[in-house]
Structure 1
Amino acid sequence: MSFPTLADFGHDPWWLILIKAVAVFAFLVANPLAAILIERKIMARMQTRIGPNRVGPHGLLQSLADGVKLALKEGIIPSGVDKPIYLLAPIIAVVPAIMAFAVIPFGPMVSVFGHQTPLQLTDLPVGVLYVLAITSVGVYGIVLAGWSSGSTYPLLGGLRSTAQVISYEIAMGLTFAAVFLDATTMSTSGIVAAQEHHWYVLLLLPSFVIYAISMVGETNRAPFDLPEAEGELVGGFHTEYSSLKFAMFMLAEYINMVTVSALATTLFLGGWQAPWPVSMFDWANSGWWPILWFTVKVWVFLFVFIWLRTSLPRLRYDQFMNLGWKVLIPISLTWVMVVAVIRAAIGSSSDDELVRSLVSAGAGLVVTALIGYAIWRLMKLPAAHRDRPAGGGPADGEREEPFDPMAGGFPVPPMPGQVLPPPVPAQSPSPRPPSDPAKETTDA
């Protein structure tokens, strides 16, 4: 097995670099087309429906037909938009999603027309930080789209996305720190090589769990699709977009799903290395076979994205923020310190590597159980709601908080711990007193 190093990059001729760049771009365009169709098929299967089956054999050309339909639609630009930024926002959302794949390793060293080259466009000493920085730029496309639309609901969707990305990128960055401490490198090719004997999903299980939750929030996918919640924001930041501009936002979302899945594969599932027991064969991790293992691992994550969208309802926004700031970030900080202590306390010799791996795996199971317990506690109904009698009144010893749903001039639902005032019973109209015929004659 030949793992590329940083010294193997930067020596390719220009035509080979061009071939690699086109191949990565084709991979990123083909995956969303397949993902949209497969998502609709899987969701239909899970919900006992048929799904797309009209365009092409078994509906296989449905994604292509939808793309052509969007391209032929009229591109409507509302009159109140900031036009330059309105047109630039979809581009800002798509380009960083594509650029982030430049440092993702697809395989080992191979021979292409007589040139030995790694199956990776390029690599950097801080390759993972490059991915984190580039994907962070993509949120500007969403924010600017909401602001430039000149409408209230898109603006609220853009602001939600800003808060969401800031919250969950902190937890995501801390999971990277644990990987850096164990691998002693930030380059993506070096992290794959460090997992030759043990994948980090086994040694750094809490980091994997926190990253898996954070990547769903980072990509605005259900149950964390609050920036484009149809119930209260119509369509969110892309409400005022149509035609190809709307298609670019959808393309950016699915490319981001592929990017975070590829990064999870690289950091925690051994990258392009074959899973056991296939890895016992020498041919499995050489030549072009690793591209297959890499693609299968990425699609496992994409299936989980689809599964979550089909199975879980959307979270409340307070639950979503509490999960990021009160659970994921504190536990991520604690886990990074645990990894650093284990790394410093146990030597780095080959004899101590097994001991360090076992200690890390054991500590990871404990911290993962803590994450599950914290999420369970967070998602439970507050005590004020669990202990409330069926009639809706206050529980024993509880002081009912005053709440006026019409205080702002528009009816709003109660927050946790607040209760609606008891309904005013409808009063029947008082009976009309009997009239005096003599008086009515006099009045007439």
Structure 2
Amino acid sequence: MSAAELIATDPGWIIAVKGLLVFAACVVLTLLAIWAERRIVARMQERPGPNRVGPLGLLQSLSDGVKLALKEDLIPAAADKVIFVIAPIISATTCFMLFAVIPITGTVSLFGHETVMQMTDIPVGVLYILAVTSVGVYGIVLAGWSSGSTYPLLGGLRSSAQVISYEIAMGLSLVAVFIYAGSMSTSDIVAAQDKWWFAVVLFPSFVIYAISMVGETNRAPFDLAEAEGELVGGFHTEYSSLKFALFFLAEYVNIVGVSALATTLFLGGYHAPPGLGFTEAWLGGWFTAIWFFIKVSGFFFIFVWLRGTLPRMRYDQFMQFGWKVLIPVSLLWIMVVATLRVLSQQGISRTGILIFSGIVVAIVTLISLAFDNAKQKKMNTPRPELSKPDFAVPELPSKGSDRV
């Protein structure tokens, strides 16, 4: 039976159990992700990191959450109190909605009932994900606007411009996936990767999505909405206690969410890597969840790696990169994939042609980046020295005056 048919036979209590399991997994993964990020960055900086609370410091994130919950909840006098309270709730709830259509396992047995670890399978699942992630930015924008302060407002404006720019690039990068898989259902896209992962076949789309997901989550080097050196704390400067914790939770759940989406669309989802397909039957099919977790963890490590190595981009460079590089390359790649789709319907093999076309698009992208860098260097060349004026001016002493 297909995933949609199995989900259709689920009784209400199975749906509730799956929802609780997915929610609990997201919260636990968030706590582990915060701990892992602090430990990995500490290792990169040659320091121990959190190692006091619990074994290896594993309970540090939990203790930080308790600390935030016990802090005083302050609301600025100039704030719009209703929207100020609603904004973090919007950010925290929308990030969990993304997991409703993510297939985490293959066919498994849950309390004797055969099902899949997926809440629902709708024909436009990826479109639903894009819509939900777009709604999440309203929490950031409203938080900045309702705080009644300058720096949060600037952070909210930056975030809205950033998400608009990179949401377009992310959506265009997924069009090639829809064309190649012939469906917008997440389970159908996973099934279409039984031979080749789309990260190989649609490599330009994978690269564009990987860059866009970092910009979408406001993470370094694209964390312009909460740049401490420029905007104090960004859009959540005025937040404290549990409201601040909700923004923190939303950030890390979003990281797990976009990593899970990348795993689903480009790395075969819960399927084992090529050559290890025999492991999918282990533990009654539950071993596929381990493969899914390993792939998501790999993407999360890339997030941490970027934070520990790259400086924050300048705002104008960041926007130029999105509009002048990612979006044009995405449009070019969509045209290539659509053309090859038509050719494949005429009996021509498309896998090899797609890989070759991906290499060509990558070369074109590198050339465009090289020209853009050359243009930037030309713009940043020092101005020529001004000629001396025709009128007399007093000469400034190069050293201290000899007169007393």
* TM-score > 0.5, shorter chain as reference: yes
- Which protein has the bigger helix share? 2
| 1:183 maps to which of 161, 181, 184 | 181
Separation (CA, whole Å) in 2 of partners of 1:302 and 1:258: 7
In structure 2, give the amino acid aligned to 1:363. S
In structure 2, give the amino acid aligned to 1:308. L
Q: Which residue does the alignment assign to 2:111?
A: 113
Q: Which residue does the alignment assign to 1:80?
A: 78
Structure 2: any 5+ residue segments left out of the alignment?
A: 388-395
Moved over 6 A (4+): 424-427
Q: Which residue does the alignment assign to 2:132?
A: 134
Q: Which residue does the alignment assign to 2:96?
A: 98
Distance 1:91 1:185, change over 3 A: same
Q: Which residue does the alignment assign to 1:365?
A: 359
Distance 1:281 1:24, change over 3 A: closer
How far the C-alpha of 1:379 sits from its partner, in A, is 5.0
Q: Secondary structure at the match of 1:116?
A: strand
Q: Which residue does the alignment assign to 1:203?
A: 201
| 2:335 maps to which of 328, 334, 337 | 337
> Is contact 2:214-2:220 (8 Å) kept?
yes
> Is contact 1:106-1:272 (8 Å) kept?
yes
Separation (CA, whole Å) in 1 of partners of 2:157 and 2:88: 16
In structure 1, give the amino acid aligned to 2:384. P
CA RMSD of aligned residues (A): 2.2
Separation (CA, whole Å) in 1 of partners of 2:92 and 2:37: 21
TM-score, length-scaled by structure 2: 0.93
Separation (CA, whole Å) in 1 of partners of 2:45 and 2:142: 36
| 1:289 maps to which of 284, 287, 290 | 287
Distance 1:394 1:59, change over 3 A: same
Q: Secondary structure at the match of 2:108?
A: strand
Distance 1:115 1:30, change over 3 A: same
| Larger-Rg structure | 1
How far the C-alpha of 1:378 sits from its partner, in A, is 3.8
Separation (CA, whole Å) in 2 of partners of 1:104 and 1:291: 12
Matches within 5 A, 1:25-36: 25-36=23-34
Quote the sequence identity (%).
59
How far the C-alpha of 1:264 sits from its partner, in A, is 0.3
Q: Secondary structure at the match of 2:114?
A: strand
How far the C-alpha of 1:47 sits from its partner, in A, is 1.1
Say yes or no: does 1:356 pair with 2:350.
yes
> Is contact 1:323-1:378 (8 Å) kept?
no
Q: Which residue does the alignment assign to 2:58?
A: 60
Q: Which residue does the alignment assign to 2:306?
A: 308
| 2:166 maps to which of 165, 168, 183 | 168
Separation (CA, whole Å) in 2 of partners of 1:362 and 1:347: 18
Give aligned pairs, total: 396
Q: Secondary structure at the match of 1:117?
A: strand
TM-score, length-scaled by structure 1: 0.85
How far the C-alpha of 1:374 sits from its partner, in A, is 3.3
How far the C-alpha of 1:175 sits from its partner, in A, is 1.1
Distance 1:253 1:379, change over 3 A: farther
Distance 1:222 1:375, change over 3 A: farther
Q: Secondary structure at the match of 2:129?
A: helix
| 2:148 maps to which of 147, 150, 154 | 150
> Is contact 1:86-1:148 (8 Å) kept?
yes
Q: Which residue does the alignment assign to 1:272?
A: 270
Q: Which residue does the alignment assign to 1:394?
A: 384
> Is contact 1:319-1:378 (8 Å) kept?
no
Separation (CA, whole Å) in 2 of partners of 1:287 and 1:159: 46
Q: Which residue does the alignment assign to 1:18?
A: 16
In structure 2, give the amino acid aligned to 1:71. A
> Is contact 1:319-1:379 (8 Å) kept?
no
How far the C-alpha of 1:345 sits from its partner, in A, is 1.5
Q: Secondary structure at the match of 2:9?
A: coil
Separation (CA, whole Å) in 2 of partners of 1:64 and 1:176: 36
Separation (CA, whole Å) in 1 of partners of 2:284 and 2:356: 32
Separation (CA, whole Å) in 2 of partners of 1:379 and 1:73: 48
Matches within 5 A, 1:379-418: 382-384=376-378, 387-388=381-382, 393-394=383-384
> Is contact 2:343-2:350 (8 Å) kept?
no
In structure 2, give the amino acid aligned to 1:123. D
Offset from partner CA, 1:143-184 (integer Å, 9 cap, x none): 000000000110000000000000000010011110000000
Say yes or no: does 1:71 pair with 2:69.
yes
Distance 1:283 1:383, change over 3 A: same
Distance 1:371 1:285, change over 3 A: farther
